[in-house]
Amino acid sequence: MSTITRGQRSIEMKIIRGEVLSIDEKSELHVRGGGGGSYVPVESSTPVIRPIHISSSTTHTREVWVKREDGVEMPIMLNDQEIKLREGNQLSIVVAADQRKMAMAYVHNHNTQRGYSLATAREIADRFSLSHNPSGWYIIGALALGAVAVFISFLIMALFLPFMLSSDAVAILVLVAAFIIGVIPLFKKYGAVYDTHEKCISEVSQALKAVTGEAAEPVSAPVTA
């Protein structure tokens, strides 16, 4: 087990071992259609027929019941058909959990000796809000502050330093400098938040790698009685 703490938030990465009791698979076919019909143009007596468009998609769900080492039975959803399972298989499931929710990150089938990734370190960090993911709003805010700085600088020159506006080169230089000074604080903030977020993801990745390696270790005996 590994614990990750970032500020006020904390998650545990642990392994749940158990045996597959049953597998309930369902596939639903969704069919959609549109178009069709016909009409006769005014300039022609030949009818125009609109083609019918039909599309379909299939939704696959798979509920797996697992009996844990402590005897408790629990359902998990493993909808990815690439994950090969059958009743009686011994599983080690890596989960990330806090006090409110749990998310599966990796499952290892000891009978087939294959492991399957269910979530990346970045997805886990974002799902549990371990750190703030910087967004484009920082850049938009920085540009807005730069524009405000340019506007204020222009007003100051117009009201108190009109001689500076008489020289285009000086005015442009001052306005460019004001813009740069205006955007620097938020760009620095963006960089700091980005670095913190990447460090958090690196920490989660290291913990996930360690626990995943432990989950893949062979089990000497069935994990359930």
Residue 4 has what pLDDT? 82
Give the tens place of pLDDT for each residue, 60-117.
888 999 999 999 999 999 888 788 899 999 999 999 988 888 899 999 999 999 999 9
Residue 223 has what pLDDT? 47
Residue 215 has pLDDT above 80, yes or no: yes
Residue 178 has what pLDDT? 67
Q: What is the mean pLDDT of the chain?
A: 79
Strands 73-77 and 90-97: unpaired
Give me the percent of the chain exceeding a pLDDT of 70. 71
Averaged pLDDT, 37-53: 70
Residue 197 has what pLDDT? 82
Separation of CA 61 from chain center: 21
Tell me how far CA of residue 168 lies from CA of 151, 176, 182, in angstroms.
16, 12, 21
Cα separation of 138 and 176, whole Å? 20
Which residues are CB-neighbours of 35 under 8 A, at least 6 positions away? 50, 51, 52, 53
Give the tens place of pLDDT for each residue, 127-137.
888 877 666 66
Give the tens place of pLDDT for each residue, 161-193.
666 656 666 667 666 776 666 666 766 776 777
Residue 142 has pLDDT above 70, yes or no: no
Averaged pLDDT, 141-165: 68
Burial of 113 (0-12, 13-18, 19+ CB in 10 A): exposed
Q: Which residue has the tokens 């990447």?
A: 198
Which DSSP letter does residue 155 get? H
Higher pLDDT, 92 or 224: 92
Cα separation of 65 and 94, whole Å? 16
Residue 222 has pLDDT above 60, yes or no: no
Averaged pLDDT, 24-33: 81
Round to the nearest angstrom and report the end-to-end CA distance of the chain: 23
Q: Please check whether residue 64 is in contact with residue 20, taking contact to mean a CB–CB distance below 8 angstroms.
A: yes
Residue 155 has what pLDDT? 72
Residue 145 has what pLDDT? 66
Residue 224 has what pLDDT? 44
Residue 91 has what pLDDT? 94
